[in-house]
Amino acid sequence: MTVPDPANELDDVLGAPVWVHAGGERVAVRGVWMCELPDFLRLHATQPDEALLARAVFDADAARALDGHAMQMLALLAGLCDRTPEWLAALDDADLENVFAAMKQANRVLFEGAAAPSHVGRDREVAASWARAVALLVECGHALDAVRCYTVGQVERLLAAHAALAADRRLDELCLARAAQADAEGFRRAVAEIKKSRGALNAGAARD
């Protein structure tokens, strides 16, 4: 069983950036905000495939398409570390790789399974799942304007926390309902069952 690191959990919930040294500076790389996610998903959906990379060697149009995608990615990354695309472009390969690694760490939920082929149906499913996540947070009382600037990591953690709290409330309601109808022995059995269920939920959260 993996024991969650409380500091990492707080970093995720608070949207803390990942710090990295690049270009002689200590740079904070943040997670993608929800209002930026549509552009990120579009960029991911159009990422160059091996065929385009091969054609770019001798095909000027393919080379321009590849350069255009690289510039869009550079602009996105520049926004996440509060630097200009020119500053990023001037970094040496090692520093640029470190910044990209920090970006992936800050947005690890977006890169899980990223090696899988992208297609229209899957992209629509991913976009719909994030739309449902926003709707659930609003239903839980979060202001839409606030959710726009939540990082994707925050959204994931907050949804998990809301689900755990809802499960606890359901267990408490079940405890009260069973207690109202049970005799002393039945009440003790109901409490034992609820404690067992609560322990299973906690164990599941620890594995996650």
Given a cut of 50, whether residue 188 has pLDDT beyond it is yes
Outline where DSSP puts E strands in the chain: 18-22, 25-29
**Dihedral of CA 24/25/31/37: which sign?**
negative
- Residue at 173 is within a domain: no
DSSP at 82: T
pLDDT of 34 reads 94
Measured between alpha carbons, how far is 155 from 133 in angstroms, rounded to an integer? 7
Residue 164 covered by a domain: no
Mean pLDDT for the stretch of residues 87-102 = 91
CB contact at 8 A, 99 and 88: yes
* pLDDT tens digit sequence for 16-59: 899 999 999 999 999 999 999 998 888 877 765 555 444 444 45
Mean predicted lDDT score pLDDT of the chain: 76
Is the pLDDT assigned to residue 119 strictly greater than 60? no
Q: Pick the more confident residue, 190 or 25.
A: 25
Compare 18 and 117 and report the one with higher pLDDT: 18
Q: Does residue 117 lie within any of the structural domains?
A: yes
pLDDT at 120 over 50: no
Token output for 10: 């707080």
Q: Is residue 170 part of a domain?
A: no
- How do residues 59-93 score in pLDDT, each as one tens digit? 555 455 556 667 788 888 899 999 998 898 888 98
Query: By CB neighbour count within 10 A (0-12 exposed, 13-18 middle, 19+ buried), where does 93 fall?
Result: exposed
Angle between helices 152-181 and 6-14 (to 10 degrees): 110
Token readout for 173 is 């309601």
Angle, helices 60-80/93-106, rounded to nearest 10 degrees: 60
pLDDT for residue 110 is more than 90:
no
Q: Which domain holds residue 47?
A: 6-151
Q: Is the pLDDT of residue 121 over 50?
A: no
* 29 in a structural domain: yes
**pLDDT value of position 143:** 95
Residue 115 has pLDDT above 50, yes or no: no
Higher pLDDT, 14 or 174: 14
Q: Is residue 48 part of a domain?
A: yes
Count of structural domains, the chain: 1
191 part of a folded domain: no
- Is the pLDDT at 7 greater than 70? The verdict is yes
Does the residue 101 lie in any domain?
yes
Which tens digit of pLDDT belongs to each residue from 126-177? 667 888 889 989 988 999 999 999 999 899 888 888 877 777 777 777 766 7
The pLDDT value recorded for residue 55 is: 47
